[in-house]
Amino acid sequence: MADVLVFAAHPDDAELAGGGLIAKCVKLGYSVGIIDLTRGELGTRGTALERAAESAAADEVLGIEIRENLRLPDGGLTETLEARKLVVDAIRRHRPTLVTAPCTEDLHPDHAVAGRIVAAAVYPAGFAKYDTGTPRCRPPALAHYMNHTTFPPSFILDISDVWETRLKAVKCYRSQLFNPDSLEPKTGISSPDFLERLSARFRHFGAEIGAKYGEPYLLHRPTPVVDPVAIFRRQDG
Ligand SMILES: [Zn+2]
């Protein structure tokens, strides 16, 4: 069982784009699981083995107890019925209230396809006759996190109190980040100012809600509001 299930195309996407929500939910006492669709074996830097070790280190930082890999092909992620079924099965085994996934329109095709596979799995996960050998379960909410491509957020989560934990988790991916001694090809993430750019993005969304750091999410459909005063009540008194 996981209260929150985070789907990602590659190991490190969950931390880079949605690490604040993960750290925040763990801090609030919720159980959080991460399901990586691929092992990142096509990544420009590092190997699948290195990335698995880095993910394990990030799990420890974030307090993640569930982390699985669906071992779909990196760089060749496609919207197949088999891929959808694997995601349906993961949802049914962990029975989350909230599912997060990449944005379906992201610049990186693996991210966009991962987002679409998850979006197409949430609904049929509730079908009684869709057989995966696991009891049906339809999560009430799907929220897309932001990788490359920006979008007008449905909500911005205040992640100021977990920013340092989030950053520490990202820094576990040493094969991907700047290393002056590395002879591997350079990528956007490996540039010396990447962490500064990452910080600037979440400072920007923090500023949108009057917080130091904020993480943007796009909801899959309108969300019911039970108490319209409580949801907007100012936190600063
Ligand atoms: Zn990625």
Q: What's the 9 CA to ligand 1 centre distance in angstroms?
A: 6
CB 99 within 8 A of CB 144: no
Task: Give the bridge partners for 125, in sequence order.
Answer: none
Separation of alpha carbons 129 and 98, rounded Å: 23
CB 11 within 8 A of CB 37: no
Predicted model pTM: 0.94
Q: What's the 81 CA to ligand 1 centre distance in angstroms?
A: 22
DSSP string, 103-117: -TT-SSHHHHHHHHH
In a domain, 117, yes or no: yes
What was the pLDDT predicted at 236? Answer: 61
* CA end-to-end span of the chain: 36
In a domain, 138, yes or no: yes
What was the pLDDT predicted at 40? Answer: 87
What was the pLDDT predicted at 234? Answer: 72
4-47 pLDDT tens trace: 999 999 999 999 999 999 999 999 999 999 999 999 888 777 88
In a domain, 166, yes or no: yes
Q: What's the 15 CA to ligand 1 centre distance in angstroms?
A: 10
Residues of the chain with pLDDT under 70: 235-237
| CATH number of 111's domain | 3.40.50.10320
Nearest Cα to Cα of residue 73 among 119, 39, 26: 39
**What is the number of structural domains in the chain?**
1
Q: What's the 147 CA to ligand 1 centre distance in angstroms?
A: 8
CB 16 within 8 A of CB 62: no
What was the pLDDT predicted at 235? Answer: 64
In a domain, 155, yes or no: yes
In a domain, 237, yes or no: no
SS (H, E, C) 146-192: CCCCCCCCCEEEECHHHHHHHHHHHCCCCCCCCCCCCCCCCCCCCCC
Q: What's the 170 CA to ligand 1 centre distance in angstroms?
A: 13
Q: Which domain holds residue 176?
A: 4-232
H-assigned helices in the chain:
13-27, 48-62, 81-94, 109-122, 163-170, 194-208
Cβ neighbours of residue 24 closer than 8 Å, sequence gap 6 or more: 157, 159, 161, 162
In a domain, 228, yes or no: yes
